[in-house]
Structure 1
Amino acid sequence: ENCATELNQSLEDLVREQPVDDEFDLAAAQGRVEELRSRIEGFGAVNMMALEELGENEARLLFLTTQRKDIVDSISATEEALREIKRRSRERFRHAFEQINKNFSELFQELFGGGRGEMSLIEADDVLESGIDVIAQPPGKRLQNVLLLSGGEKAMAALALVLG
């Protein structure tokens, strides 16, 4: 009955398919069966939900991996956009600085009736973070920082800078 229930075959069918060997040791076979049963029991309870949980966890991993890739791609795109913005900003700043410097120089010479006025970047390597140094040389004086000029000369140099 057990054979028919568990194996879907009758005992007679099994004997015909698998003839019993004359050297078969029933006691050794039963001992082996008991050994295997105790090992199976040693595995503990079987989590019947494990396969379902595995599927859910794999789906979650795929989702999170996709999200991570999207974030990494977004970070890369943002960094590239920032590099482009900085490049354009430097380019525009240099262009504007050169134009303002040219206008300042021309207006300085016009206001002072000669001499020389110019602006220079303190740190030419990083124009966006650099300070600006204003150098002035009124007619008949030596080249110096605008801070060393007299009050009137400072006012006229400032006027040339603002209007330039």
Structure 2
Amino acid sequence: MLNHNLSDENAKLAKLNDLLFNNNINLNKLELNHNNLNNQLSKSKHILSVKYNLKLPIDDAEQIDLKLLELKIKNIKAELNQLGPVNIHSIQEYKNVLERFKFLKEQSNDLKVSRNQLKSTMSKIDKEVVIRFKNNFDELNESFSNVFREMFGGGKAKLLLTEPDNMLSTGIDIMVQPPGKKIPQY
């Protein structure tokens, strides 16, 4: 009987050892879960702190006032709604518009430079045209006067500029006085 009691006690001890072993495994699992939950809580606190500028109690998760937190979330959502819809492409659109603006600004500057160069060139050409026109006009006027005297055996003939101060838009008048004739002056 003693053997039987000892055997029963050994069986009970083995069951208790198995139970203790299983409880230790369960305790390790619970501690691991507890550590994982603490890590997740820390990450969540960090995200709330960085993203939403919310400061939560650092050590004691039970100190969190859920109603206050819900109120803050509600206020943040209301502020976001007041901002209206967000164009997620606005940054790229801004970059595109900025690039287009820079391109057009360069084009505008190039056109201004070209316009100034063209004005300068036109001014030089106008000066040259005036000089050549005046020289050619003077030669033509002298030749016209000589040819007229030869053809008519005397008299006077000359070419006159209608606007001598504005050579680029002046007209030309012909004044002739055949020999023996007097032309009244107007």
Q: Give the TM-score band, short-chain normalised.
A: 0.5 to 0.7
Q: Which residue of 2 aligns with 1:66?
A: 106
State the 4+ residue runs in structure 1 displaced beyond 4 angstroms.
24-30
Candidates 155, 163, 178, aligned match of 1:115: 155
The SS at the match of 1:119 is strand
Structure 1: where are the runs of 5+ without partners?
A: 146-164
Query: d(CA) in 1 for partners of 2:84 and 2:177?
Result: 94
Candidates 119, 122, 134, aligned match of 1:94: 134
1:56 matches 2:100: no
Mapping of 1:4-153 within 5 angstroms?
A: 4-5=43-44, 7=46, 15=58, 27-28=67-68, 30-143=70-183
Q: What's the CA shift string for 1:35-69, capped at 9, x where partnerless?
A: 12322244344333221221121111101111122
Q: What's the CA shift string for 1:75-114, capped at 9, x where partnerless?
A: 2222322222222212211110001111122232333333
Q: How many residues align?
A: 138
Label 1:6 to 1:65 Cα distance change in 2 as closer, same or farther (>3 A): farther
Structure 2: where are the runs of 5+ without partners?
A: 1-39, 49-55
Query: d(CA) in 2 for partners of 1:61 and 1:6?
Result: 44
Aligned-residue RMSD, C-alpha = 3.4
The SS at the match of 2:106 is helix
Q: Which amino acid aligns with 1:140?
A: G
Query: d(CA) in 2 for partners of 1:73 and 1:52?
Result: 32
Q: Which amino acid aligns with 1:74?
A: S
Report which stretch shifted further, 117-126 or 136-145.
Answer: 136-145
Query: d(CA) in 2 for partners of 1:100 and 1:73?
Result: 40
Query: d(CA) in 2 for partners of 1:33 and 1:113?
Result: 113
% identical equivalent positions: 27
Checking the alignment, whether the CA contact within 8 Å between 1:120 and 1:133 is kept in structure 2 is: yes
Q: CA deviation at 1:14?
A: 6.0
More helix, by proportion: 2
TM-score scaled to structure 2, two decimals?
Answer: 0.59
The SS at the match of 1:15 is coil
TM-score scaled to structure 1, two decimals?
Answer: 0.65
Bigger Cα Rg:
2
RCO greater where, 1 or 2, for CA within 8 Å and sep 6 or more?
A: 1
Label 1:99 to 1:6 Cα distance change in 2 as closer, same or farther (>3 A): farther
